[in-house]
Amino acid sequence: MKRGESWEKVAAPIASAVLFYFGTGLSPIPALTWVAPLPVLWAAVRVSGRAAFIGSFLAYLLGQASQFEFFWRTPSVPRPIGLLILVGSSLLFAAVTLLFRALVRRGWPLLGACAAPAAWVGAMHLNTLFNPSGIIWPFATNQAEVPVVTQIASVTGAWGVEFVVLLVPAAVAALLSAGVAGRARLRTGVVAAVICALTLGFGAWRLAGAPGGDPAQRVAVLSATRYQWAPDAASAGGQSLVAAYAGQIAALPAGVRTAVLPEGTFGTDESSLRSVVGPLAAAGRGRGIDVVVGVVHTTPAVKYNYSVQLPADGSAPVFYTKWHLSPDVPFKRGTELVFARGHEDRVGLANCMDLNFAMPSRGYGQAGTRLLAVPAADEFGNGWQHSRMGLLRGVESGFTVAWAAQWGTPMISDPWGRVLAGTDTEGTRAPFVVAVADVPAGPGGTLYARFGDWFGWVCVALAVAGLLPLLRRRPRPGPGRTVDEPRAARSPLGA
C-alpha cells in the first residue's frame, strides 16, 4: 500500500465507523449523523472499487456496534432477522457507495450526489413492503429532536429526512473530488444548497405556524420502573400492581384528560380481565381521566395484545387489537383503526411496534386524529430510539404522540415533533415515572397522510436513473487517460 493511500483505504473507513457509532443507533449525536458517511464517500472516488466496497461495508457495520447486543437479546426480532438487518444495511451502504463512486468518476457528480441517497431511501422503502419488523429509520430517527429538519416528514414522510441527511455528505464528497469539471461542481453545490435551504426553510415556516395559546388537552404517560411483561392480573403481585397503578392515576395533576400506561401492563384471561378494568376505570372516573392500558389477553381460542381505553364517563371499555407483531407470535392481528370514546378531538389507539409501519399511523392521520395513545414496551436500551421513531410518525401524519413505555423512554411529542415531556424508567429508584404535558390540537392531517410514501417511489425512480448511465459501454481510453479517470461527459445532471 502506498503511503498516500493509507487515509483513503484505512483511515477513512475508521473515521466513518467512529462517526457512525456516535452519530447513529440507540443514543446518537445528531450533528455527527450528517458527516459520518463523508470520509468513506470522499475516499471511494480515490481508491479501487473493491477497496471502496470493503471499506464502506466495514465502516457501516462497525458503526452499528451499539445495536449488536440489542438484536442478540431482544425477543421481538429473531436473531437471524437482526443479523440480516445489520449485514443487509451494511451491504446496502456499500452498494450505494459504489454507485456514488461510479457516477462521480464518470463525470456526473450531481447525479452521484442525488442518486446515492435516493438508492438508499428507495431500497429501504422497498424493504418495508416485505420486512415483518418494519423500520426504524437509520438516519432520520437520529434527527428526531431537531424539529427544523424533521418538518419535511409532513410532506415526504421520514424518507425526506433520510434523503437529505445522506445528500449533504454525498454532495460535499462530490465537490471535493478531483477531476470534476467546474460547471458540474457548481451545479452540484447549488442544487444541494437549494435542497437544504428548502428543507430548513420549510421547517422554520411550519414551526412558526405551530399554535400557541390554550392547549387542546392535558395528557400523562406513566410506567412502573420494574419491567414486568404481562404479569398475571389474578396473582397477588398482579393485584398489587393494579392497586399501585390506580393510586398513580388518582394522584395525577389536575386537568389531565388522558393517561396512557404501557403495553403488556397486565396479563388477563376471561375471569381476571374485570379485576384490571374495574379498579383502573374507577380511578380514572374519579378524576375525569380516560385511561389507556396495554393488556395481553388470553381466551380459550386465541391471544390478543390489546390497547384498552377505559372511558372517564364509565361507559364500556374500547379495545384496539395490535396490528403488527413479531414473527411467529401467536396473537390475533388487528386490522381496524379504533378511536377513544367521549372525545371531541379524535384520539386514536395504537400499540408499540405498530408505529414501525406506515399503517395504521397514516390511516389515523387521514382520519384527522389529534392524539395517538401508544402503550409500548421497548427493551434493552432502545427506548429513546423507538420512541423517537414514534415521534416521527406524529410529524408525518400531524398528531400528538403519547408514548408510554414499560422499559425505556415514556414521552409526549406534539404534531411538530417537539418533545413536550419525557422521562426514563431506568436510572431511578422511584417505583413509577410520570410525564405530563399540555398538548395542542395539531393540524389533523398532512400531505404525507394524504399521499403516503410517494417520495419513497420517487427515490426508487431516481436510483434507477442513476444506474442507467452505468449500463452504457465505457469509452476506450484516449491518449494520456485511463478508463478510471473522470470524464467531462455531459448529462442532464452532470457537466
- pLDDT tens per residue across span 157-186: 999 999 999 999 999 999 999 888 889 999
User: What does the domain layout of the chain look like in residue ranges?
Assistant: 3-209+452-471, 217-441
Beta bridge partners of 6: none
- Determine whether 452 is exposed, middle or buried from the number of CB atoms within 10 Å of its CB (0-12, 13-18, 19+): middle
- pLDDT tens per residue across span 381-399: 788 999 999 999 999 999 9
pTM (predicted TM-score): 0.91
Q: Position 489: which residue type? A: A
Residue 41 CB: number of other CB atoms within 10 A? 30
pLDDT band at 490 (very low <50, low <70, confident <90, very high): very low
H-type alpha helices, 106-235: 109-128, 147-150, 153-156, 158-175, 182-208
Determine the Cα–Cα distance for residues 21 and 27; give it in Å rounded to an integer.
Answer: 9
Is the pLDDT at 474 greater than 90, yes or no?
no
pLDDT band at 486 (very low <50, low <70, confident <90, very high): very low
**Which pLDDT value is given to residue 8?**
77
459 and 125 in contact (C-beta within 8 Å)? yes
**Which pLDDT value is given to residue 66?**
81
- 303: phi > 0 → left, psi -120 to 50 → alpha, else beta; which? beta
What mean pLDDT is predicted for residues 126-136?
A: 88
Strands (E), 173-289: 217-224, 256-260, 266-269
Strands 256-260 and 217-224: parallel
**Which pLDDT value is given to residue 414?**
96
**Which pLDDT value is given to residue 475?**
54
What mean pLDDT is predicted for residues 29-52?
A: 96
Determine the Cα–Cα distance for residues 285 and 273; give it in Å rounded to an integer.
Answer: 18
pLDDT band at 2 (very low <50, low <70, confident <90, very high): low
Quick one: fold of 217-441?
Nitrilase/N-carbamoyl-D-aminoacid amidohydrolase (3.60.110)
Determine the Cα–Cα distance for residues 305 and 302; give it in Å rounded to an integer.
Answer: 10
